[in-house]
Amino acid sequence: MTTAFIIREISKLPWPGRLLVVEKTLKSIRQDKQRSLAAAVDLLGEDYASDADLTAFTQLDADDFYEAR
């Protein structure tokens, strides 16, 4: 099944059905993204907790930030 085929088939649906497909697809993408981010946190969390070089710039968080114009 190709992307072109899927799009052709979706275009045959009435607009409420097409919107439903878009909503479900976006929800699926967001869930995949969340799972990927959670996996990255699990993978790198210990490194950030124990390696001061990875968090060195957080010392600047309390400083005011002024945008150059």
| pLDDT for the residue numbered 13 | 96
Distance CA(38)–CA(35), nearest Å, equals 5
Q: Tell whether 22 is covered by a domain.
A: yes
For the segment 11-23, what is each residue's pLDDT rounded down to a tens digit? 999 999 999 999 9
Question: How is residue 23 written in tokens?
Answer: 């909503």
Q: Would the pTM count as exceeding 0.75?
A: no
Q: Tell whether 14 is covered by a domain.
A: yes
pLDDT band at 32 (very low <50, low <70, confident <90, very high): very high
| pLDDT for the residue numbered 64 | 75
AA identity, residue 59: Q
Q: Tell whether 59 is covered by a domain.
A: no
| pLDDT for the residue numbered 39 | 92
| pLDDT for the residue numbered 50 | 86
**Mean pLDDT calculated for residue range 44-50:** 85
Domain encompassing residue 19: 10-45
Q: Tell whether 2 is covered by a domain.
A: no
Q: Tell whether 66 is covered by a domain.
A: no
Q: Tell whether 37 is covered by a domain.
A: yes
What is the distance, to the nearest Å, from the Cα of residue 4 to the centroid of all Cα atoms in its chain?
A: 25
